[in-house]
Structure 1
Amino acid sequence: MANFAKPSAPRFSVEVYQNEFLPEGGREVNAIVTVTSTGGGTAGGRAAMAAAVRPAEQEIGTGPTRRSAAVVLMVDCSGSMDHPPDKLRGARAATAAAVDVLRDGTEFAVVDGTHVAREVYPGGGRLAIADQETKSLAKQALLRLRAGGGTAIGSWLRLADRLLDTAGSSIRHGILLTDGRNEHETPQELRAALDACAGRFTCDARGVGTDWEVKEVTGIATALLGTADIVADPSGLEADFRQMIEGAMDKAVADVALRLWTPVGAEITFVKQVAPSMVDLTGRRTPAGARAGDYPTGSWGDESRDYHLSLRVPAAEVGQEMLAARVSLILPDPVGGAPVVLSRALVRAVWTKDVAASTAIHAQVAHYTGQAELAAAVQDGLKARKMGDFDGATAKLGRAVQLASVSGNEDTAKLLAKVVDVVDAPTGTVRLKAKVADADEMTLETRSTKTVRVKKT
């Protein structure tokens, strides 16, 4: 029997960066909230966290049935995966490599995705427990994968959800690989599947080759709080799958929510994750009592993320100050009791007649406002280029080059340089390239929401 290590609980901290000063009558408050999790150790889920913050209570689920994580690998086996054949070969090898790096005790399953979803291993509507024997059997099952049929990604996700629902761990993760468009489902059917799975597990999505739809793959990752990327060459799948599995198993606690309480008269304009990538959480609010709401953040390991909060508060006179928002990190109690508050911070508003103080923009807010504009400029520029609006594309992509240069986003700058010839980066002077490889254009679009963090001094 595998030895399941008792996890250590991560520690969370919340820091707020803002210019709290407003002019007389001013209403708009912006703040960057940095959330950091450290010391998670072996993944164990929210039961371990709740036990750590309530040491007097008996810890739940630390016996031999504890699982470190649960993972379902969804592999596209539609007919297009055989054109060229190295796509399916690469997918088999990558999935086998992912199975190899599963830690003993991880619950896992493999799903064959076409116009229907089929369990490849272990079957029977259940998850296997990773050890030497089950990993060997899973890799043997992968050899039987054959390409054929269509693509209905929503059915893959729904099967993964049913399998993960049987897991003994709260760390539930999907990895989805596709090479084509979701042609055997309507957009509404895929949207319904994503809505049903949201909050139940996280999912990383990958597109292999260049025949898939960027917005479909990024939409899956955004809805399920995972990552999205392109693997243009199937030979790169193995390393990417290993990295995704290792990342999933490094998560220490699931279902963390960002709770915002605002006073009477205050309104929340938006809530967005802005690092390591842009994710709009505004529409995902769930009520949490009087004037409070929770925004999902998914699973956490040792990591740090930034969130941009924008608020409108009641206008006030010079000399007044108020609490504009209370920010808390919340963990649901695994046995249905009161939620655990992991950390807390405050957002303030102070009205002043000092013009210099009230008009200054905090460096963190300015930086991420620029990163959001950069992502939008890239996407708008590529859309204009596809529509034949070359003047509009030049203007938008030139602005993107300028913003990437100013903010130090070197990765995006390098990707932009494959789509435009950069004449002068600081002024955003560019020329569209006459010919651009599909892989380069899709890589830029897929990674356009990845951000760099502000350099702190």
Structure 2
Amino acid sequence: MSSPIRPPHLGIQLHVDLDRDLRPHRSAKIEAHLRVDVTATGAAAELPAVELAVIIALDVAETHRAAVRRALPAALRALPDGISFAVLGSGGPEPARCYPLGGAEWAVADQNHRRRAAFAAGAVPLHRDGPRPAGYAAWAAKARALLAARPLSVRHLLLITDGSSAPGETRLQEELDACAGQFTCDVLAVGADWSPDPLLALAERLHGTAEFVDDGLSSAITGAIRRLRRVHAPQLPIEVTVRPAVRQVSLNEKAPRPHRLGGLRRRGRPHLWSFPTYQWEPGSRDYLLTLVADADADPLETDLQFAMVSVGDVHVPVTARWHHPERPPPHGPAGSGTLRGLKTTTLMRDALRKGLIAVRHDQGDAAERHLGQAARLAARLGTQWVLDEIDEVAVIEDAVAGRVRLRPAVDTDTLAPMLLRAGSRPGGTLTDIAGALPGPRCGHCDTPAGSEARYCIKCGEKLL
């Protein structure tokens, strides 16, 4: 599980940006852009390889053996000394160990093991016409069992898939729930017969990435392991403590890996939520924090603290004020620019993904509508890569106006990789905390209070 303690060799800065001037109602939404800046202070540039355990899993069919034989031996020869590794193949109903051979479950890389593993990679078992592993859940379960016996700082599954085991997919979500917090996962997709949704689910739930590899599989494997060595804090939660008036909360990572985060309750602290995060390396991360608050009993025109965000021993408050509904909104709320940009980027990615899905299902009108919205937002933000993606499937007649026209022929094999690049699956629900333990009521004005409140938020009197 994640630890709330900040590693001593990391410097952490928190920044919160939000529109602080809100209109009160029963379920008012408060959105804040949270940026976490991490620097390494006095730490080595790379994590020692002896602190890493990596499983390379090959969920591919026999038809891709040539690509595997080209890529895997070179990647194994490039493993750093001291890293714990295992290679799994897919020749039967369950994932099979390809290396190390014999009774050992793990190898520790040195010159001898690298040479033997590269030789064994030429005969790695792959899918044939016979029984296949029952979907991605089987790979995750095998990794969970292996990594449980390797209690190192960074434990990681690198899944290389062409989707050939997916037709038997079962219980993926159940298995991902069991794996969450145990290890992380990157997915490298090859070929053209895989669906993006389960790959995004794996990467999102296990805090990794999912990407399409058209060529250069060996360098993609080596690059993924190199990224792991830049990790300075394998696990570090973002904690959000909310005031009793806040009824729902969610936290979504927007960069560098767009995905939703799952919140965990802290026992005995009904208003404290912990959002586990993984693979912290020097750099910045951006999050969208969303709160839904009941403003019925709150004072107007008064600064209120709705939440406290904590990473390790660094804390930052989330404060705003309710304004009179009948008065005009204040001009130029301080610090709302980056929040607007973050929300616009989210809308752009969502529109791009919806447009690509509509193309895949031959829904021309919907595709042009969503892709047009994505083009308009990309033009506003100056996001060229989105315009380049749209250009693959549609002619952009006027990006600023959001006018696009689908091309008469679209290579459907390009759509799945584009969906991976678009980011995580859209949507996600807020965590409802309305069921928190009831608190006292003020003996002077009868205003309800949260279970941890000590003074009335309306009249200021001490609660009995």
TM-score, normalised to structure 1's length? 0.82
Q: Distance in 2 between matches of 1:268 and 1:125?
A: 48
Aligned to 1:370: 344
Unpaired stretches in structure 2, ≥5 consecutive residues = 1-6, 426-464
What whole-Å deviation, never above 9, does each CA across 1:126-149 have from its counterpart, x for those lacking one?
321122222122111111124333
Are 2:156 and 2:184, in contact at CA under 8 Å, matched by a contact in 1? yes
Q: Look up the match of 2:172.
A: 190
Asked whether the equivalents of residues 265 and 313 of structure 1 are also in contact (C-alpha less than 8 Å), the reply is yes
Q: CA deviation at 1:352?
A: 4.3
Choose the corresponding residue for 2:415, options 416, 438, 441: 441
> Taking structure 1 as reference, are residues 401 and 218 closer, same or farther at Cα in structure 2, changes over 3 Å only?
same
Q: Is the 8 A contact 2:376 2:401 kept in 1?
A: yes
Give the ranges of 4+ consecutive aligned residues of structure 1 lying more than 6 Å apart after TM superposition: 358-361
For the residues of structure 2 that align with 1:190 and 1:383, how far apart are their CA atoms? 22
Match for residue 384 of structure 1? 358
Conserved 8 A contact 2:264-2:275: yes
- Give the corresponding residue for 2:35: 34
Q: Larger deviation: 363-372 or 7-16?
A: 7-16
Is residue 2:141 matched to residue 1:141? Answer: no
Cross-structure match for 2:283: 303
CA displacement at 1:163 relative to structure 2: 1.7
- Give, as a single letter, the amino acid of the residue that structure 2 aligns with 1:285: L
Query: Which of 85, 97, 110 is 1:119 aligned to?
Result: 97
Q: Which residue of 1 aligns with 2:4?
A: none
SS class of match (1:392): helix
The 3-state SS of whatever aligns with 1:404 is helix
Give distance in 2, aligned partners of 1:8 and 1:44: 15
1:180 paired to 2:163? yes
> How big is the shift at 1:259?
0.8
Q: Which moved more, 1:349-358 or 1:441-450?
A: 349-358
Q: C-alpha deviations, 1:415-454, integer Å up to 9, x for none?
A: 1110111111111111101112234322221111289xxx
For 1:271, give the aligned amino acid.
L
User: Which residue of the partner structure matches residue 326 of structure 1?
Assistant: 308
Deviation at 1:165, TM superposition (A): 1.6
Residue 358 (structure 1) shift: 8.0
Q: Which of 424, 428, 435 is the matching residue for 2:398?
A: 424
Aligned-residue offset at 1:349:
1.6
CA distance, structure 1, for counterparts of residue 222 and residue 111 of structure 2: 17
Deviation at 1:410, TM superposition (A): 1.7
- Partner of 1:206 in structure 2? 188
Residue 343 (str. 1) matches residue 311 (str. 2): no
Contact kept in structure 2, 1:260 and 1:328, CA below 8 Å: yes
Q: Distance in 1 between matches of 2:410 and 2:25?
A: 50
Report Cα offsets for 1:317-337 as digits up to 9, x if no partner: 3332221111112xxxxxxxx
Q: Distance in 2 between matches of 1:94 and 1:253?
A: 30
Q: Contact 1:13/1:37 (CA < 8 Å) preserved in 2?
A: yes
| Amino acid of the structure 2 residue aligned with 1:319 | E
Q: Does the C-alpha gap of structure 1 residues 250 and 361 become closer, same or farther in structure 2, counting only changes over 3 Å?
A: closer
Query: How far off is 1:88 after superposition?
Result: 2.2
Letter in 2 for 1:369: K
Q: Distance in 2 between matches of 1:257 and 1:299?
A: 11
Distance 1:298 1:113, change over 3 A: farther
Q: Which runs of 5+ in 1 are unaligned?
A: 1-6, 46-65, 330-340, 452-457
Change (3 A) 1:116 1:381: same
Secondary structure at 1:250 match in 2: coil
By how many angstroms is 1:386 displaced? 2.7
Q: Per-residue displacement from partner, 1:188-209 (whole Å, max 9, x unpaired)?
A: x222222221111110011101
CA apart distance, 1:42: 5.1
- Structure 1 match to 2:439: none
Q: 1:279 aligned to 2:259? A: yes
Match in the other structure for 1:75 = 58
User: What is the count of residue pairs matched by the alignment?
Assistant: 404
Which residue in the other structure is 1:57 paired with?
Answer: none
SS at match of 1:67: helix
Which residue of 73, 97, 119 maps to 2:74?
97
Distance 1:42 1:286 in 2: 34
Distance in 2, Cα, partners of 1:448 & 1:169: 33
- The farther-off stretch of 385-394 and 142-151 is 142-151
What SS does structure 2 have at the residue aligned with 1:147? coil
Aligned match of 2:435: none
Distance 2:355 2:25 in 1: 37
In the alignment, residue 351 of structure 2 is paired with which amino acid? A
Distance (Å, rounded) in 2 between the aligned partners of 1:342 and 1:174: 30
> In the superposition, relative to structure 1, how do residues 122 and 146 fare at CA in structure 2: closer, same or farther (>3 Å)?
closer
Counterpart residue number, 1:4: none
Give distance in 2, aligned partners of 1:221 and 1:24.
Answer: 38
Q: Name the structure 1 match of 2:203.
A: 221
CA contact 2:90–2:127 (8 Å) conserved in 1: no
2:22 touches 2:320 (CA, 8 Å); kept in 1? yes
Q: Which amino acid aligns with 1:109?
A: A
1:359 to partner: Cα distance: 6.8
Q: Is the 8 A contact 1:9 1:41 kept in 2?
A: no
Report the Cα offset of residue 180 of structure 1.
Answer: 2.0
User: Displacement of 1:184 after TM fit?
Assistant: 5.2
Shift of 1:400: 1.1
What amino acid sits opposite 1:128 in the alignment? A
Backbone CA RMSD of aligned residues: 2.5
Give the TM-score normalised by structure 2. Answer: 0.80
Find the structure with the greater CA-based Rg: 2
Paired with 1:131 and 1:286, the residues of 2 have a C-alpha distance of 43
1:47-62 mapped onto 2 (5 Å cutoff) = none
Q: Distance in 1 between matches of 2:231 and 2:137?
A: 25
1:21 aligns with 2:12: no
C-alpha distance after superposition, 1:308-357 (max 9, x if no partner): 0011234233332221111112xxxxxxxxxxx24221111223467224
Q: Give the partner amino acid of 1:32.
A: H
Task: Tell me how far 1:292 sits from its aligned partner.
Answer: 0.3
Matched, 1:163 2:146: yes
